[in-house]
Amino acid sequence: MVRPTGAQELSEGDPHVVALENARRKHAAASADASAVDGEHILAVDTLVALDGAIYGKPRNADEARATLRVLAGRTHEVISGIVLDDRATIAVTAVTFREIDDALMDWYVATEEWRGRAGGYAIQGRGAALVRAIDGDYLNVVGLPVAALLDLMDSRAFSPE
């Protein structure tokens, strides 16, 4: 079950620390929710985009999306996810290199409105793939849930047939 928590998120600071702290805040809020079921596993994830120590969140409008994509164009940024599962926590980091983005590609992508609600203003699993030259790390982290890191946090007994 998905439970939005409304937890107050950080937007400034060391991106690795911010991603993990935001996940911890979401986890704490979900754990405190009166509708939480005893014994239920609680997973909280926060994913952000960072370049040169600056965090690029979800653009509020097309102009912000365009500005963010211009900064990322032709450069390698990090997609950082903080993950908290019950009493365990970790981060996942994937390097994403964007191609140069000319005006035609920028206009096309911004017009898709796919940037809405996306950290860094793009969705690699959609049309945003056209902006990407290469990735180094977990593709699923860029999509939004770093499955490899999550599996590392899980108890191997979770895969038992019993």
Tens-digit pLDDT profile for residues 26-78: 999 988 875 666 667 889 999 999 999 999 999 999 999 999 999 999 999 99
For residue 144, is pLDDT > 90?
no
Residue 87 falls in the annotated catalytic set: no
pLDDT of residue 97: 98
Nearest to 66 by CA among 76, 75, 56: 56
CATH class of 15-154: alpha beta
DSSP-derived pairing of the beta strands 76-85 and 54-56: unpaired
Q: Which candidate in 14, 33, 38, 46 is catalytic?
A: 46
Q: What is the predicted pLDDT for the residue at 6?
A: 83
Calculate the CA dihedral of residues 57, 95, 129, 6 and round it to 10 degrees: -30
Condensed to tens digits (0 to 9), the pLDDT of residues 92-127 reads: 999 999 999 999 999 999 999 999 999 999 999 999
Q: What is the pTM of this model?
A: 0.91
Look at residue 31 in the predicted model and tell me its pLDDT: 85
Average pLDDT over residues 16-28: 97
The reported pLDDT for the residue numbered 32 is 85
Higher per-residue pLDDT: 38 or 90: 90
Q: How far is the C-alpha of 86 from the C-alpha of 24, rounded, in Å?
A: 10
- CA-to-CA distance for 115 and 75, rounded, in angstroms? 18
